[in-house]
Amino acid sequence: MLRRVRPLGGDPVDVLLADGVVAAWRPPGSTGPDSEGLPAGTAILDTDGLIMLPGLVDLHTHLREPGREDAETVESGTRAAALGGYTTVFAMANTNPVADTAGVVEQVWRLGLDAGHCDVRPVGAVTVGLAGERLAELGAMATSAAEVRVFSDDGHCVSDALLMRRALEYVRAFDGVIAQHAEEPRLTAGAQMNEGVVAARLGLPGWPAVAEEAIIARDALLAGHVGSRLHVCHVSTAGSVELIRWAKAKGWQVTAEVTPHHLLLTDDLVSSYDPVFKVNPPLRTAEDVAALRAGLADGTIDCVATDHAPHALEDKETEWAAARPGMLGLETALSVVMETMVIPGHLDWAGVADRMALAPARIGGLPQPAAQRWSSIAVGAPATVTLLDPSPWRVVEADTLASRSRNTPYAGRSLPGAIRATFLRGRPTVLDGKVV
Ligand code: DOR
Ligand code: ZN
């Protein structure tokens, strides 16, 4: 029994979780929590002031296993996910070996089951070895125990237009989706940061917005032409938001995600030459940030995805040009969304539930009822929920994160909100802000 929880910020209710679903709810005080009628042995948690959201779903997580267990493992990454309020993460395929066969995706899926902190849905590579030359065994991955529905070469763009067309056509058979890392590689060769005034001042080679936008325009046309589902990873420019708005207006099946860091941070941070701010696509301008927030608010951008990209110290604490791109995200995502979207009034809590749980579940093809509509709180709804305390502000300390890596761009920054508990099908994975 959760006492006095506020579903999506509405009126407080007491909630009974049983057998993996919301079994009952009632206004507090109507009958006390220790009254008759509660099943024997019911644990009672005082959740006064907490907001209940559906368990968060991340479409874009790098768990690094197999291959770079020094940077992250399925165990450590999913522990970080649960602490961040996530109950499902989609694990990207750029591991070593690459997740381009049924064998590797099943291995990652089983590691997720063993860890038990949240559901792990492996993403399959689109092309063999992420090399962009031959399609991987998409069908074998889809029919494997891991039931892959999302395919991506993330880290690399599927830049060959014919290969992209074939991939889109192929996944239609099982309602799969191609998640594209939109980056025209010829336009970004040698790029170190966003192309613009800051890059010009620092003398660093630029990554132009058009390299992202050209691929989004091409792939939206392809998805419309073949009638397949395209998902655009980590949208980072104002022009990309416009293009996705156009593709949606055409009625094409195009969805998109934005990362927390692209909602908050800008390219002037690169002036510090601190590689913690190096990421791909790069941090952009304040105008881009404003367009991304507006796009997420009006639904042009469907969801928030972390692009949690852990890197070992030797790959990050080095000179700017040699450092790997990527930032941690799982343990701070909801706080950054609070700061950038909720506090300024762009999204209410129902909007957060949609952009961080329901929409990504739908895009990722999660089986019902995980993706079922979560209006306020429904009896029979899955008890896969996260409880957020919206009141505290806390300073992020890299050393206290559950991730094996330390590359958070928010170290020393104060962020709002704290996850108090996470439940996966009625079972707590986090209580009192600690993994159980
Ligand atoms: O910054 C990034 N890091 N962008 C990507 O696309 C890949 C990711 C990684 O794997 O580190
Ligand atoms: Zn990417």
Are 21 and 120 in a shared domain?
Answer: no
Residue 280 near ligand 1, beta carbon < 6 Å: yes
Size (the chain), residues: 436
On average, the pLDDT of the chain sits at: 95
Shortest-distance atom of ligand 1 to CA 324: 11
CATH of the domain at 41: 2.30.40.10
CA distances from 94 to 56, 127, 411 (A): 23, 11, 26
In eight-state DSSP terms, residue 382 is B
Of 375, 390, 406, which one is at a domain's C-terminal end?
A: 375
Give CA–CA dist 384/21, Å, rounded: 8
- For residue 362, give its domain range: 54-375
Q: Which ranges of 59-132 does DSSP label H, i.e. alpha helix?
A: 74-83, 102-115
Among candidate residues 418, 404, 406, 358, the one with its CA nearest the CA of residue 382: 358
In eight-state DSSP terms, residue 129 is G
Residue 155 near ligand 1, beta carbon < 6 Å: yes
Q: Is the peptide bond before 97 cis (omega within 30 degrees of 0)?
A: yes
Nearest CA to ligand 1 atom 3: 326
CATH of the domain at 368: 3.20.20.140
pLDDT tens-digit series, residues 269-306: 999 999 999 999 999 999 999 999 999 999 999 999 99
Q: What are phi and psi of 422, to 5 degrees?
A: -135, 135
Give CA–CA dist 39/421, Å, rounded: 22
In eight-state DSSP terms, residue 31 is S
Mean pLDDT within 387-408: 98
Give CA–CA dist 171/158, Å, rounded: 15
Residue 279 near ligand 1, beta carbon < 6 Å: yes
Mean pLDDT within 217-227: 98
Rounded to the nearest angstrom, the distance between the alpha carbon of 95 and the centre of ligand 2 is: 13
Question: Annotated binding site for Zn(2+), which residues?
Answer: 60, 62, 154, 181, 234, 307
Q: At what angle do helices 238-249 and 209-226 cross, to 10 degrees?
A: 10
**Which residue in the block uniquely carries the two structure tokens 């070992």?**
312
Based on the residue annotation, tell me whether 100 is a catalytic residue of this protein: no
Rounded to the nearest angstrom, the distance between the alpha carbon of 67 and the centre of ligand 2 is: 18
Of 324, 352, 375, which one is at a domain's C-terminal end?
A: 375
Per-residue pLDDT at 127 exceeds 90:
yes
pLDDT at 24: 87
pLDDT at 371: 46
**Termini Cα distance of the chain:** 17
Are 33 and 107 in a shared domain?
Answer: no
pLDDT at 230: 99
pLDDT at 178: 99
What ligand has the least distance to the C-alpha of 179? Answer: 2
More confidently predicted of 209 and 3: 209
Count Cβ atoms below 10 Å from residue 43 Cβ, excluding itself.
9
Are 135 and 58 in a shared domain?
Answer: yes
Are 320 and 336 in a shared domain?
Answer: yes
Give CA–CA dist 74/112, Å, rounded: 6
Rounded to the nearest angstrom, the distance between the alpha carbon of 155 and the centre of ligand 1 is: 5
Give CA–CA dist 388/332, Å, rounded: 12
pLDDT at 32: 53
Residue 47 near ligand 1, beta carbon < 6 Å: no
Q: Which ranges of 250-401 does DSSP label H, i.e. alpha helix?
A: 260-264, 286-297, 313-316, 333-337, 349-353, 359-363
Which segment of 5-9, 121-125, 188-192, 357-361 scores lowest on mean pLDDT?
5-9
Are 151 and 254 in a shared domain?
Answer: yes
Are 268 and 295 in a shared domain?
Answer: yes
Residue 65 near ligand 1, beta carbon < 6 Å: no
Are 381 and 415 in a shared domain?
Answer: yes
Q: Which of 302, 307, 315, 354 is catalytic?
A: 307
Are 29 and 117 in a shared domain?
Answer: no
pTM above 0.85, yes or no: yes
Shortest-distance atom of ligand 1 to CA 156: 6
Q: At what angle do helices 286-297 and 238-249 cross, to 10 degrees?
A: 30
Per-residue pLDDT at 62 exceeds 60:
yes
Q: Which helix (H) or strand (E) holds 202?
A: helix 197-202
Question: Annotated binding site, which residues?
Answer: 60, 62-64, 94, 154, 181, 234, 280, 307, 311, 325-326
What ligand has the least distance to the C-alpha of 282? Answer: 1
Q: How confident is the model at residue 41 (pLDDT cuts 50, 70, 90)?
A: confident
Which segment of 34-48, 231-245, 324-338 scores lowest on mean pLDDT?
34-48
pLDDT at 379: 86
Are 328 and 384 in a shared domain?
Answer: no
Q: What are phi and psi of 411, to 5 degrees?
A: -55, 130
pLDDT at 31: 60
Residues 331, 401: contact at Cβ < 8 Å?
A: yes
Rounded to the nearest angstrom, the distance between the alpha carbon of 49 and the centre of ligand 2 is: 37
Are 204 and 260 in a shared domain?
Answer: yes
Are 386 and 362 in a shared domain?
Answer: no
How many structural domains does the chain have? 2
Residue 306 near ligand 1, beta carbon < 6 Å: no
Residue 316 near ligand 1, beta carbon < 6 Å: no
**Which residue in the block uniquely carries the two structure tokens 């930032």?**
327
Are 80 and 224 in a shared domain?
Answer: yes
By percentage, how much of the chain surpasses pLDDT 70?
96
Of 337, 358, 375, which one is at a domain's C-terminal end?
A: 375
Q: Indicate the Cα dihedral angle 234, 386, 77, 429, nearest 10°.
A: -160
pLDDT tens-digit series, residues 358-389: 999 999 999 655 445 566 678 888 899 999 99
